[in-house]
Amino acid sequence: MSNQNYLSISRVDMTFAGAGGAHPVLAGISLDVRRGEYISLIGHSGCGKSTVLSIVAGLLKATSGGVILDGREVNEPGPDRAVVFQNHSLLPWLTVYQNVAIAADKIFKGSRTAAERREWVLHNLAMVNMAHALDRLPSEISGGMKQRVGIARALSMEPKVLLLDEPFGALDALTRARLQDEVVRIQSGLGNTVMMITHDVDEAVLMSDRVVMMTNGPSATIGQVLGIPLPRPRNRIALAEDATYNRCRQEILTFLYEKQRKVEPVGARTSRPMPPMLTPSAIAAMKLA
Amino acid sequence: MHSSEFIEPIRIATPAAPGVVRAALARAGRGFMTHVVPPLVIIGILVLIWQMLGSRPGAALPPPTKVVQDTLELIVSPFYDRGGNDVGIAWQLLASLKRVAYGYSLAVLVGVSLGVLVGQSTWALRALDPLFQVLRTVPPLAWLPISLAGFRDGHPSAIFVIFITSIWPIIINTSIGIRNIPEDYRNVAKVVRLNGIEYFAKIMLPAAAPFIFSGLRIGVGLSWLAIIAAEMLIGGVGIGFFIWDAWNSSRISDIILALFYVGLIGFALDRIVAFIANKVTRGTAAS
């Protein structure tokens, strides 16, 4: 085990048995992630990005191949691979505080006192700026706030890898931009290793050290890996006119829309229109106008 | 079952400025006008029609004034006890409520347990569901002769009839609630590594609580329906027997008074379960 391949996904295949025979989703996924690295997985919807994440989380078992994290094989879910789910998945009958405490209390039951655990929950909620709403129920706070609590819950587990499954997908553009900046700030402070699923090119370039591009399914695999050589901290407004930023963006767009053009079958369900995004390119467009 | 409107609770402001008090009073007054006055008006009109129809010569049923006159003793002293079956209406109601309490508690215990089993295990669902679907359509009173034959006594038979009547909606709703627990909650539990007991207490029961409580509410209503009918047949004590006894001795006014009480208590039982549901689920169950 070295820092160079802290998290190793090796030759993972995934086949779902379904109606009409076996359905191959993933074929030959191999990826090494450094300790402290921020990795994004990008690809068209339905390509199997989330399946990769679920396999790393241990929620799904790969048909063949395996995942090794910090020298140990992953074969069940655990708090060392905390997941932030796309739809926050807070428990609606628990308050903001209790939603984080249910994880922290379970994981640190033997190792920390009740007072230390309480302190730790409060610390994590303060980190995502949710210390003011400890006793609110999830139904009483906004979507962005719910996602903050979901992030606090994942961080409170002190995971070796933080798994983010389209964490900003359901948020409006302004909330999304703020939360992206905060996740990057927290990640650079704590040095977490992060694996994020996204289908947003700007989000991937802005936040990641490397962007992993996936080909379309069935039998999806890694098509290309792009390092993002942008210094941190990154400023989304300054980046709008940055040549490197735009080159990276261009490269991912080319991969997604020319090499891996998604051909929708006729009569497929109509895709939901994406909300407008406050991305560097959008900011640049606004400046031009 | 879902009431879309509710009366805003009046918050008590600590240093109540006169304006605040007046506003609160105005709000309370408006609440009274919009929620209390309409049912009172309708009830008034219905009682008036009843009075007119009942006062006609040769009317089969007594008008409200005569009902009150005839049953004055039952109304003012509900707790008298002259031995035997000659006891106040409150004792009759309490006897019925006691039977409901036994039968319903048993149904809650067994129903929720079976519901969890059927909700958790696909095998149990396949094995038991056809049985449930057939048995739940058997009318309450159809169970009475067989339970009398089995228990050879009226009292346990009545409790059994309540149990068997109210258990089906509890089982079915509990199992639906458990089956509908979002996959995400299960995943959260897996990532945190909750064990079986922790999962049951911290995720499964609270997540299914809104469904379970809607089953409990239907169940309590059914058990109150069943007890009245069962007591008419088994006799002895209880409000159902009281009604049957009143019919046999042509005390129509007593029957009308009893119906009034039965309705009020059924309503109260429903509200009590709804209140508990609301407290337990923090308002996520329909009230």
**pLDDT greater than 50 at residue B207:** yes
Angle value at C-alpha B157, between B151 and B158, nearest 5 degrees = 165
Q: So what's the pLDDT on residue B80?
A: 78
CA distances from A87 to A53, A96, A164 (A): 15, 15, 11
Residue that is written with structure tokens 């999962």 in the block: B199
Q: Show residues of chain B in contact with A157, CB under 8 Å.
A: 191-192
In this prediction, what percent of chain B has a pLDDT beyond 90? 55
Residue B224 to residue B222: CA distance in whole angstroms? 5
Interchain pair A107, B284: CB under 8 A:
no
Residue pLDDT, tens place only, B231-271: 988 877 889 999 999 999 988 999 999 999 999 999 999 99
- Strand ranges (E), B40-199: none
Contact flag A59-B190 (C-beta cutoff 8 Å): yes
Distance from CA of A249 to the nearest CA of B (A): 32
Answer yes or no: is pLDDT of B284 > 80: no
What's the pLDDT at A247? 94
Query: Would you call B191 and A157 a contact, using CB atoms and an 8 Å cutoff?
Result: yes
Q: Per-residue pLDDT tens for A207-234?
A: 999 999 999 878 889 989 999 999 988 9
Which of A82, A106, A157 is closest, CB to CB, to B194?
A106
User: A226: which strand partners?
Assistant: A211
Describe chain A by its helix, strand, coil percentages, rounded to 5: 40, 20, 40
Chain B contact set for A81 (CB, 8 A): 191
∠ CA B139-B142-B144 to the nearest 5 degrees?
A: 125
Q: Which has the higher per-residue pLDDT, B278 or A266?
A: B278
pLDDT at B49: 94
Interatomic CA distance for residues B248 and A30, integer angstroms: 86
d(CA A188, CA A194): 11
Q: pLDDT tier at B58 (50, 70, 90 boundaries)?
A: confident
The residue-averaged pLDDT of B9-20 equals 54
- Give the C-alpha separation, A181 to A177, whole Å: 6
Confidence of residue A5 (pLDDT cuts 50, 70, 90): confident
Contacts of B194 in chain A (CB under 8 A): 106
Q: What is the mean pLDDT of residues B193-206?
A: 91
Give the three-state DSSP class for B279: helix
pLDDT at A273: 47
Q: Please indicate whether, in this complex, the C-beta atoms of B192 and A92 are within 8 angstroms of each other.
A: no
Amino acid at B230: A
A20-34, A271-285, B259-273: which has the minimum mean pLDDT?
Answer: A271-285
**pLDDT reported for residue A2:** 53
Q: State residue A264's pLDDT score.
A: 56
- End-to-end Cα, chain A, rounded Å: 52
Q: What is the pLDDT of residue B233?
A: 86
pLDDT per position as a tens digit, B109-144? 999 999 999 999 999 999 999 999 999 999 988 999
Which of A94, A106, A137 comes nearest B193 by C-beta? A106
Which of chain A's residues have a Cβ under 8 Å away from the Cβ of B200?
Answer: none
Residues 6+ apart with CB under 8 A from B55: B63
> Using beta carbons and an 8 Å cutoff, which residues of A are at the interface with B?
57-59, 76-79, 81-83, 85, 87, 89, 91-94, 102-103, 106-107, 137, 139, 157
Q: Do the beta carbons of residue A220 and residue A50 sit within 8 Å?
A: no
Lowest mean pLDDT among A99-108, A125-134, B83-92: B83-92
Mean pLDDT score, B192-219:
92
Q: Which residues of A touch B203 (CB under 8 A)?
A: 91
Q: State yes or no: pLDDT of A265 exceeds 70.
A: no
